[in-house]
Structure 1
């Protein structure tokens, strides 16, 4: 009779031991699939700050050389309003604003143009 209560305990222990890595992998995938939304701009990191009322003009400048102007402006304005900075030039130079540079889309690519 003791064997009948012992076996379910062994199977339960085996299940818990083997399933833990599976649950960890699922949790890691879930985290990777989430978008990262910056909540604030770290102090001292913005070397190209923009006030919220200047985002439109700065994004017009930033997106002036692209053939996908509508998408560029949408992304740039969203990023500018959140990060309060827009990099100089029409491409690259994102290192002056960590928030703008580090914000990723759901595929893991850059959110901000």
Structure 2
């Protein structure tokens, strides 16, 4: 009887966790489709939430403010932020991967 109740408990916990992950992913996707007004001389609408996506991207960076500022610039220009906290830059195409700083370093985190 206890093995059945343990199985039922684990099954219910698994279902609960899967539903939470699904609702979290839905919330992130909903944020990504909200337009944002870009400040500066090249005002235009961006189809991604640069602030939210860059906060996730730079959350574990050693210098999060510097990372978030660079990420925001890249997001506004390229309309893309790669998934994860590091790497995957090629998923945003050449606009994101080829942008350089004045010191010829890669600008986009």
TM-score normalised according to structure 1 size? 0.53
Aligned match of 1:65: 60
Aligned equivalents of 1:101, 1:90: Cα separation in 2: 15
Aligned match of 1:32: none
Aligned residues: 65
Q: What CA deviation, in whole Å up to 9, does each residue of 1:47-76 have, x standing for no partner? A: xx9762511000001001112011001000
Matches within 5 A, 1:1-113: 52=46, 53-97=48-92, 98-113=94-109
Give the greater-gyration-radius structure (CA). Answer: 1
Q: What CA deviation, in whole Å up to 9, does each residue of 1:27-63 have, x standing for no partner? A: xxxxxxxxxxxxxxxxxxxxxx976251100000100
Aligned equivalents of 1:77, 1:63: Cα separation in 2: 10
TM-score normalised according to structure 2 size? 0.55
Structure 1 consecutive aligned stretches of length 4 or more whose deviation exceeds 4 Å:
none
- Specify every segment of 5 or more residues in structure 2 that has no aligned partner in the other structure, as ranges: 1-31, 36-45
Aligned match of 2:9: none
- Specify every segment of 5 or more residues in structure 1 that has no aligned partner in the other structure, as ranges: 1-48
